[in-house]
Amino acid sequence: MLIEIYADLVCPWCYIGKVRLEQALSNRPQARVDLRWLPFQLNPELPPEGVDRATYLTVKFGGVERARQLSASLEQAAEREGLSLRLDRIRRTPNTTQAHRLVRLADGFGQGTAMAGRLFKAYFEEGKDIGDLDALTDLAGEIGLSQEETRTYLEGDADRAAIRAADQTARQLGVQAVPCFVFDRRYALSGAQEWTAFLPMLDLARGNDPANRARS
pLDDT tens for each residue of 158-185: 999 999 999 999 999 899 889 999 999 9
pLDDT in tens, 50-71: 999 999 999 988 887 888 888 8
Q: Which CATH fold would you assign to the domain 2-215? A: Glutaredoxin (3.40.30)
pLDDT > 70: percent of the chain: 94
CA–CA separation, 107 vs 117, rounded Å? 12
Can you say whether residue 63 is alpha, beta or left, with left for phi > 0 and alpha for psi between -120 and 50 degrees?
A: left
Instruction: Please give the single-letter amino acid code of residue 75.
Output: E
pLDDT confidence band for 216 (50 / 70 / 90) = very low
Q: List the Cα angle 190/110/42 in 5-degree steps.
A: 35
Q: Which pLDDT band holds residue 204 (cuts at 50, 70, 90)?
A: confident
pTM for this prediction: 0.93
Specify whether the CB–CB gap between 180 and 189 falls below 8 A: yes
Residue 67: what pLDDT?
A: 84
pLDDT, the chain, mean: 92
The whole-number pLDDT of residue 210 equals: 45
pLDDT value of residue 213? 41
φ, ψ at 195 (rounded to 5°): -60, -30
- Domain positions in the chain are 2-215
Give the pLDDT confidence of 67-91 residue by residue, as tens digits. 888 888 899 999 999 999 999 899 9
Residue 138 has pLDDT above 80, yes or no: yes
CA 99 remoteness from chain centre:
10
Phi and psi dihedrals of 69, rounded to 5?
A: -65, -40
User: What helix, strand, coil percent values describe the chain, rounded to 5?
Assistant: 55, 10, 35
CA-nearest of 198, 182, 180, 200 to 190 is: 180
Distance between CA atoms of residues 46 and 44, nearest Å? 6
pLDDT in tens, 18-43: 999 999 999 999 889 999 999 999 99
